[in-house]
Each structure stands twice: as structure tokens, then as C-alpha cells.
Amino acid sequence: MTEYTATTTNSTNTVTATAKDENTVITILNGGTEVENGTPATWADGVNTLTVTAENGSIRKVYTVTVTKS
């Protein structure tokens, strides 16, 4: 798992994940709520956790982004 952090004062930000291989399927979750790739995610005050999963056949990578909204 790879982890990143970000901060924002906005109530929403567009979330986009781009894979190198066009056959990769990307899933983005904000907490337990799915966010369509390239659309805005809504942030609650405080810490929000995005989980981005990229799958291509048997290869699966998970990235965690902790977004803090102040």
C-alpha cells in the first residue's frame, strides 16, 4: 500500500486517477462511498480517507490518500 496526504479548505475537489495501461480498472472510495473517477469528492471537516485501487488482471495496487479539510 502506498500512502499520501493532502489538505484542503474546499468542500469538494475533483479526484482523478490515471493509469499507465488503458486496461487498468480504477476504483476510488471516499470512506465507504464510491467516487467516479474525474468527479468531485465531498469532504467532511477533519480527516477523510480516499482509497484508490488499480487492478489489471492479477496485479492489484492500493493507494491511500488522507485528505484533511480545515
Q: Is this structure's pTM higher than 0.85?
A: yes
Tell me: domain 2-69, CATH 1.10.3470, correct? no
The dihedrals phi and psi of 38, each to the nearest 5 degrees, come to 90, 5
Give residue 24's pLDDT: 96
Q: Is the pLDDT of residue 1 over 90?
A: no
3 state SS of 43: coil
Contacts of 7 (CB under 8 A, 6+ apart): 67, 68, 69, 70
Per-residue pLDDT tens over the stretch 16-62: 999 989 999 999 999 999 999 999 999 999 999 999 999 999 999 99
Average pLDDT over residues 63-69: 96
Confidence at residue 64, expressed as pLDDT on a 0 to 100 scale: 97
What are the boundaries of each domain within the chain?
2-69
Task: Categorize the per-residue pLDDT at 69 as very low, low, confident or very high, splitting at 50, 70 and 90.
Answer: very high
User: Beta strand pairing status for 33-35 and 25-30?
Assistant: antiparallel
